[in-house]
Structure 1
Amino acid sequence: MTETKDNNFNSNGKNKKLDLENGHGIQKTFGLAGNLLLAFKTIGVIYGDIGTSPLYVFTSIFPDPPTDPRDVYGTLSLIIWSLTIVPFFKYVFVILRADDNGEGGTFALYSLLSRHSGLSIRGVNRDDLTIANCDSMSTHSIKENLNFIKRSKLVQRVLLVLVLFGTSLVLGDGLLTPAISVLSAVEGIIIPVPSLSSATVPISCFIIICLFLVQRTSRLAILFAPIVSLWFISLASIGIWNISHYPSILKAVNPYYAFEYFIRNGSPSFQVLGGVLLAITGVEALFADLGHFNRISIQISFTFFVFPSLSLAYLGQGARLVLDPAVSENTFWLTLPSTNGPIYWIVFVLATLATIIASQAMILATFSLVRQAMQLDCLPLLEIVHISKEIEGSIYIPEVNYILLGSILIIILVFQHSSNLTIAYGVAVASVMLISTMLYAIVICVVFNFPVIVAIVFFLIFGFIDGAFLGSTLLKVKSGGWFTLAIAIFLLFIMLIWRWGTTLKVKYELRNKTRLDDIFASNFSEKEKEVQESDSGHSDEILQTIERQRSENIQLQLLGTGFPVNRLPGIGLFYKEAGMGVPLSFCHFVRHFPAVPEILIFITIRPIPVPLVGEEDRLIVKKVGNYEKVYQVIGRYGYTENIYQGEEFITKLITAIYEIDPKTKTILENLKNEVVTYVIGHQKLVARSNSRWWKRAFLEIYSFLVKNSRQIYANWEIPVDDIIEVGMKIAI
């Protein structure tokens, strides 16, 4: 491994640089002023979904006006305590502690568990545990203490399926969030202008189209925090105004009313949890967007601003429902101080902007999740466009953008009203909450090394709550909840098929890896031995002779045929799927075209379960035996990084090679004039004649995905003219 000193790293290898703008990949610590500023920025990014829930929660719970005030008290108590237990306690003060070097989300939990269990994405790569900018167990400790994840392949597969299913659910949820948020806001226009009721769908579609068309060039993120902050202030203000008309509603904070509601209404009351769940949608954003902020900033913003504002908003709506049950038809808009005055229209504009921002946050989260899935070999490769030179995580994926746009427009046209969408909404949210609880319970044992009883207690408490929410939403599967569930299952199937096919190719290359000694018949080492044996008494002459021979460009010959292999000027990178050894593409190439570049590099691009890999840990460079200017290289990339193999990478690569082999000095000095050739293996999986039907079907699906995905090097920023593809078929 190449080693470089960096004054920005302390003795533990932790990055000391603090980036207030993006903070990507590190858990930052600031003073009070810095944390307050960062807390303000969180408001515009991670609270859009949960902040727009007051637009439709009570309307979903009470499709018909409530006939008993105790029902309002009971459901309101459930909402307040759900906000307290799930987002406030479980996520903000517990799960946020399971960050993966500053990153959050289900992939971060998977990364933590994989690394602390000694697992890797491809092959057996224990050197991945040595990277400086990542907490990890040592190789020694893993060998001595194999946990249950490392010991069981079944547990590893179940863990992967859980993570991928959770990701699929979030992606499916990304279709409903923009639709329900924008529709619920635009429907506010019906109250003052009933004649525009038929225009809500066209207006919503127009807003969605504009939102998706500006994704590539959007530069309005700086306004998100002020707008959403004003929205929360308006929620709190409206809530206080409504509470002033019926202060007794504050009694609903007593959990007694929640229990009394269940006891009084019996089993049918279980269904109300599906509506209550809508009040906490967006909780995964608290965790998933951790990498852009820090734990303290999220705790400050939620505790002192978001949670009080939401609580006041729901208490105010509950107060008006007790006084006038008829407002349940459109609770939020009918509980405003006026229905056609300046205040109403100001709130309408703020609501529309807030829902657009909530949709934007979900779109960006979808882009981020898709990229992470691609980096972990779980999705076909798609084009990634960077829309910011300063923020590495600010990306745009055209194919995903237009698929989302088309799907959301169809959803709006089919469901027509936000009340119809609330039926389909929630299944994905509840499922992801339960998956996060399961993963965190495992993290408690494997990563934090707490006693098993702690994990059991955590899972029993929060698993029961999440399970109750999930059970309630599953009751809505027949009437619309099947939609997001079907999308998630479809995405999971695609991910598993892609992962399966990619794993088959990697395993094939690992099984069939070879050495240069099995390809070339070089008499270089034999000449050295002959010189040493014949001139055993003349050590100086021996050294001079050996050095002279090493300085010559020794002729390579193909093993068996003895056909000469020429060394041509330039640099050649032969890519392989995994592990050390010679890639299959090189074997095919050199037997048909017996000529190799002067600098011959066998390189593996290795995705590893960490968010970011520092440049000092990027490359592992080794010389291959006694072969002149032949090297093995591993380039390591985290799951939040893009892979670059362009001119800058080549400079760093040759510099790293020069550190272990000074003979490449002339190459380094004239690098701009060197011809660089990238040789990529293109393996096609084909079924054997005796393969089972399901394997044939899966291979056909995988081949279809490969054919319609981008080439592996498409996002590497390398000139297409410098690439050579070597195709081969692999019988499975």
Structure 2
Amino acid sequence: MTEIKDNYSNSNGKNKELDLENGHQIQKTFGSVGNLILAFKTIGTIYGDIGTSPLYVFTSIFSDPPTDPRDVYGTLSLIIWSLMIVPFFKYVFIILRADDNGEGGTFALYSLLSRHSGLPIRKGNSDDLIIANRDRDSVSSHSVKEPNIIKRNKLIQKILLVFVLFGTSLVLSDGLLTPAISVLSAVEGIVIPAPSLKSSIVPISCLWFISLASIGIWNISHNPSILKAFNPYYAFEYFIRNGSSSYHVLGGVLLAITGVEALFADLGHFNRISIQISFTLFAFPSLTLAYLGQGARLVLDPSVSANTFWLTLPSTDGPIYWIVFILATLATIIASQAMILATFSLVRQAMQLDCLPLLEVNYILLGSILIIIIAFQHSANLTVAYGVAVASVMLISTILYAIVICVVFNLPVIVAIVFLLIFGFIDGAFLGSTLLKVKSGGWFTLFIAIFLLFVMLIWRWGTTLKLKYELRNKTRLDDIFASNCPEQEAQESDSEDSDEILPTIGQKSKNIQLRLLGTGFPVNRLPGIGLFYKEAGMGVPLSFCHFIRHFPAVPEILIFITIRPIPVPLVGEEDRLVVKKVGHYEKVYQVIGRYGYTENIYQGEEFMKKLITAICEIDPKAETILENLENEVVTYIIGHQKLVAKSNSRWWKRAFLETYSFLVKNSRQIYANWEIPADDIIEVGIKIAV
């Protein structure tokens, strides 16, 4: 967990881009061999959850020993065909095609739908959407010619966002249960210290799948007739024979396909072809053999249902048992890390898209998982709560992908309808089965997911209020300083409605004495560089307006900078910065820094060099800044807006504002991971009445 946090917290934008594109570079460099290398690496990363399911699936299905062999054949047939239809066909060969420039997960689907509908994440410039629509070896991208139903209907946009956030909340709640249920099922009744897995994850995972296949073949050899379970007839016969009472078994079968959403979310670390190779040739055969072997032993000895995996080993007291036990324990730890990795990816994306506050995810995960383990105590108790999240998010992904088929792939509506009917029916059946267990434990997952959804919506709502306030109260420098150049003032007034503070073409730069408008009080220019950050990409930051009226002094080099997330995973360095000179004011610049939703914002020394270099390209007089950059004092001024309720606000709005304020107080500062010295930061507090 610590290693993941270090990567998450400390990597800058450049390192992050190299890390995410590493897998794609291997593939491009070595071609087919590169895909095989990536396929080998996927085994230790994305199949941990689904790979440890054989530990508890049959034990969850048969709480009592099966009295009729046909029940074993029927449930086994359901497991095999569920593995084939959901992970194999739906995810590995269909949904993985909806990658967002190599990234997967619910936010990737939302990003695709947003930019193909012409919807920026925030109100910004059209050039952001041009960048977002560039084709980077992903699905076919294009600029939106005619507004589709998503662009035209605000209600659909809100529903779509809530859908995505709820799906993300479900995956995050799944991320809390996976480590608990996997590790508990492996170490039930015994605890051993886990060795370091830093360099052994892939070999251990390979050994685990080989063990599953080998044990499965050994068990099948005792009852080869179990291979009849490949016939889907036994699945249908099971439902016909048992009637409505058999519907609950789907909740147990669902446990065999958990981890598919983590598989989709982890796509960005590899590529689609490598996942297709590894699942088809390695994961799927191993899992199928494991379940067939367990089914074969269940037919011969129904009593092994008490703990099917461990009681069907070749030996229960010899070295084979203990070797498998150690492998299982290590495999479940790897499965937990894989789910945690997917959780971190989603959390980072949510933070970048203003849907979550900056949180110490490691400590929250650790505390939550420990509480879950203590509360539920046994893996059998956890399996009830586990399935609700998995089934719900699968159904949400199916609905979102059906929309992607029409909006992104431009296929006929009938294709989306067929996809939705087939896979929506399957997902709906699984979800209905798990909802029957809400009272006995499934409520826990729904509670966690709804709570996370509430936090996301409140945070998004509060952040949007701040953004709208800044847009409504945008200010130009001419509204603050008295102008010594009437011609300039007249020219700038013509562009008052512009989204940015635009320079005047052909106007000579004049080093004027800054004076406050109205009072005429002189404003001193102090040595150094000052970066004033703002939420919206328009006008002067509110923090600057508030600052200058109380302290009439500004740095010699004045930079108004906006950090703007755009709906792509990564932004190329050529598109990172937009730099403009502000009118006739000398050494005053407007800057927009673009970041994709998988990138960490970096504002350290390397960023400053790139920024000043970009400024020098548009203003030759600034070259002296670059020459003396190491000796320049750089100050980062960041606005800290606090939302307060108006006297006539309704009770619900006051409650929401108090909740948002609580989240702000208990979250990390926005600049916490920017790698800038804390001593160089100045916060300017502003109260906003809404």
Deviations 1:564-609 (A, max 9, x none): 2222222111111112211111111111111222211111001111
What is the aligned partner in structure 1 of residue 82 from structure 2?
82
Q: CA deviation at 1:127?
A: 1.3
Change (3 A) 1:138 1:510: farther
In structure 2, stretches of 5+ residues that fail to align are 1-16, 491-505
What is the aligned partner in structure 1 of residue 371 from structure 2?
410
Q: Find the partner of 2:517 among 541, 547, 559.
A: 559
What is the aligned partner in structure 2 of residue 425 from structure 1?
386
Q: CA deviation at 1:561?
A: 1.5
Change (3 A) 1:139 1:317: closer
Q: Aligned partners of 1:509 and 1:709: how far apart in 2?
A: 22
Q: Aligned partners of 2:526 and 2:50: how far apart in 1?
A: 62
Q: Find the partner of 1:376 among 336, 353, 356.
A: 353
What is the aligned partner in structure 2 of residue 309 from structure 1?
286
* Native 8 Å contact 2:351 2:358 kept in 1: yes
Change (3 A) 1:528 1:99: closer
Deviations 1:202-242 (A, max 9, x none): x2xx76xx79xxxxxx7x44311111111111111111111
Q: Aligned partners of 1:552 and 1:250: how far apart in 2?
A: 86
- Count of residue pairs the alignment pairs up: 658
User: SS of 1:678's equivalent?
Assistant: strand
Q: Letter of the 2:172 partner, please give it.
A: L
Q: Letter of the 1:611 partner, please give it.
A: P
Q: Aligned partners of 1:634 and 1:592: how far apart in 2?
A: 26
Pairing 1:672–2:630 present: yes
Q: CA deviation at 1:363?
A: 1.8
Change (3 A) 1:528 1:107: closer
Q: Aligned partners of 1:73 and 1:140: how far apart in 2?
A: 49
Please give the residue correspondences for 1:68-467 in structure 2 after superposition, counting only pairs within 5 Å. 68-131=68-131, 134-135=134-135, 141-142=143-144, 144-187=145-188, 197=189, 200=190, 203=191, 220-382=197-359, 399-467=360-428
What is the aligned partner in structure 1 of residue 448 from structure 2?
487
Q: Aligned partners of 1:312 and 1:603: how far apart in 2?
A: 58
Q: Aligned partners of 2:142 and 2:325: how far apart in 1?
A: 61
Q: CA deviation at 1:416?
A: 2.0
User: SS of 1:96's equivalent?
Assistant: helix
Cα RMSD for the two superposed structures:
2.3
Change (3 A) 1:91 1:42: same
What is the aligned partner in structure 2 of residue 63 from structure 1?
63
Q: Aligned partners of 1:563 and 1:668: how far apart in 2?
A: 31
Q: Find the partner of 1:502 among 444, 450, 463.
A: 463
* Native 8 Å contact 2:644 2:689 kept in 1: yes
Q: Aligned partners of 2:41 and 2:513: how far apart in 1?
A: 63
* Native 8 Å contact 2:132 2:566 kept in 1: no
* Native 8 Å contact 1:377 1:502 kept in 2: yes
Q: Aligned partners of 2:18 and 2:627: how far apart in 1?
A: 35
Q: Aligned partners of 2:509 and 2:21: how far apart in 1?
A: 52
Which structure is larger by alpha-carbon Rg, 1 or 2? 1
Q: Aligned partners of 2:647 and 2:677: how far apart in 1?
A: 39
Q: Letter of the 1:617 partner, please give it.
A: D
User: SS of 2:66's equivalent?
Assistant: coil
Deviations 1:474-519 (A, max 9, x none): 1111000111110111111111101100000001001110111111
Deviations 1:268-295 (A, max 9, x none): 1111000000000011122111111111
Change (3 A) 1:25 1:509: farther
User: SS of 1:679's equivalent?
Assistant: strand
Pairing 1:719–2:687 present: no
Deviations 1:300-355 (A, max 9, x none): 10001110111011011111111111110111111111111111111111111101
Q: CA deviation at 1:134?
A: 4.0
User: SS of 1:45's equivalent?
Assistant: coil
What is the aligned partner in structure 1 of residue 32 from structure 2?
32
Q: Aligned partners of 1:592 and 1:413: how far apart in 2?
A: 54
Q: Letter of the 1:688 partner, please give it.
A: K
Q: Aligned partners of 2:489 and 2:376: how far apart in 1?
A: 80
* Native 8 Å contact 1:570 1:597 kept in 2: yes
Of residues 111-120 and 362-371 in structure 1, the stretch that sits farther from structure 2 once superposed is 362-371
What is the aligned partner in structure 2 of residue 601 from structure 1?
559
Q: CA deviation at 1:407?
A: 2.0
Of residues 591-600 and 306-315 in structure 1, the stretch that sits farther from structure 2 once superposed is 591-600
User: SS of 1:80's equivalent?
Assistant: helix
What is the aligned partner in structure 2 of residue 639 from structure 1?
597
Of residues 687-696 and 620-629 in structure 1, the stretch that sits farther from structure 2 once superposed is 620-629
Change (3 A) 1:493 1:27: farther
Q: CA deviation at 1:135?
A: 2.9
In structure 1, stretches of 5+ residues that fail to align are 1-16, 188-196, 212-217, 383-398, 530-546
Q: Letter of the 2:624 partner, please give it.
A: T
* Native 8 Å contact 1:180 1:418 kept in 2: yes
User: SS of 1:634's equivalent?
Assistant: strand
* Native 8 Å contact 2:48 2:335 kept in 1: yes
Q: Aligned partners of 1:528 and 1:313: how far apart in 2?
A: 77
Q: Aligned partners of 1:654 and 1:148: how far apart in 2?
A: 43
What is the TM-score of this pair, normalised by structure 1? 0.87
Q: Aligned partners of 2:284 and 2:54: how far apart in 1?
A: 12
* Native 8 Å contact 1:574 1:678 kept in 2: yes
Deviations 1:60-99 (A, max 9, x none): 0001000111111110000000000000000010001011
